[in-house]
Amino acid sequence: MSSPSEDTLIVVKPDGVRRGLVGEIIGRFERKGFLVKKLHMQTMSKPQAEEFYSVHKDKPFFGELVSFITSGPVVGAVLSGRDAVATVRRMVGATKSWEAAAGTIRGDFGLGLTDNTIHASDSAESFTKESGVFFSKTRG
C-alpha cells in the first residue's frame, strides 16, 4: 500500500549556495522522484531567521544558527512526493556532518554542524510553519 503524497521544505544554506551546490542538491531530489513545487532564493532577515528557528530559541546555539542562515543567500524549495518528510530527511543525513553517512547530502557536502549545507523540515507541522516563514511576503 503506497503512502499519499506530502510536501516538505528544504533550504540550501549559505555554504551550499556559495559552493555552487544548489543544482546538484535539487537534482538529487528530482532524480529520487520528488516534484519541486516552489523554489525561491533570498537572503533571510534576522527576524525571519529567528522565527524560522524559533523552536531552538532557548538553546545555546540559537544565535549561531540565526547568524549563519542570514550570512548570505539561501535557496528554499517545497518538494512533493510519497513520504516526503521522512525520505528527504534520510537523503539529507545526520545534522552533524561528520556523523552523516556517505551518499547523504550532509555526508557528501557538509563541513560541520552549522555549515551542514541544508535544512529539511522534520515533520508535517514543521513544514507548515517553516514554509510559511520562508515564503512569507513580508520580511522584517
**5-134 CATH:** 3.30.70.141
Q: Which pLDDT score is estimated for 2? A: 57
- DSSP result, 31-73: HHT-EEEEEEEE---HHHHHHHTGGGTTSTTHHHHHHHHTSS-
Q: Which residues does residue 80 pair with via DSSP β-bridges, in sequence order? A: 7, 35
Mean of all residue pLDDT scores within the chain: 94
The tens digit of pLDDT for each residue in 62-100 reads 999 999 999 999 999 999 999 999 999 999 999 999 999
Are the C-beta atoms of 28 and 16 separated by less than 8 Å?
A: no
Are the C-beta atoms of 11 and 118 separated by less than 8 Å?
A: yes
Of the pLDDT bands very low, low, confident and very high (cuts 50, 70, 90), residue 140 is very low
Is pLDDT at 9 greater than 50 in this prediction?
Answer: yes
Active site residues: 119
Which class for 95: exposed (0-12), middle (13-18), buried (19 or more C-beta within 10 A)? middle
Q: Are strands 74-82 and 35-42 parallel, antiparallel or unpaired?
A: antiparallel
- Give the residue extent of every domain in the chain: 5-134
| pTM, entire model | 0.94
Rg over alpha carbons for the chain, rounded to the nearest Å, is 14
The tens digit of pLDDT for each residue in 108-124 reads 999 988 899 999 999 99
